[in-house]
Amino acid sequence: MREVIRARGHEHVAATHESTFEVTTDDWLTPAGDCIVGIEADRSPADFDDDFAVACRDPAATITLTLETADARDEIRARGHPDLTFGSDRSAVVRTSTYVDDRTVAVGADAAAADLDRDLVAALAGGAALTLSLSVE
């Protein structure tokens, strides 16, 4: 199963956070938002298909997250968690930890914002269009 979020970068994308990355529906970003890699997302976790959410609640689920611009791509692997609610109508957060709130879409990720390909980050800081694909197995 797969879900796709389309967003865009912003001049303040720094991607320096060491334990999360986030895509938000907000249309603004301050320099303090060091985990945010995309704004103006066209969807939030609350929009995801119920079957996708159920599949992600399996602690044995593998969630593959692919971030793509026209010129750069990165892939992160994470896990599901039984407490994932997909309730947020504002932002999707991927975490290296096991912390879960209504914004969390995956935990135990093998990378955070600080680990993302720097060509991808540069493109996003230049305002590039971003496609975030989430696939669950």
pLDDT in tens, 47-103: 999 999 999 999 999 999 999 999 999 999 999 999 999 999 999 999 999 999 999
Under the banding of pLDDT at 50, 70 and 90, the label for residue 137 is very high
Mean pLDDT of the region 6-16: 98
* Number of structural domains found in the chain: 1
- Name the token pair of 112: 């955070």
Residue 75 pLDDT: 98
Residue 24 belongs to domain spanning: 2-136
Give the domain CATH number at 32.
2.60.120.630
β-strands 91-95, 104-106 pairing: parallel
Average confidence score pLDDT of the chain = 98
Half-sphere exposure of 61 (CA within 13 A, CB side): 25
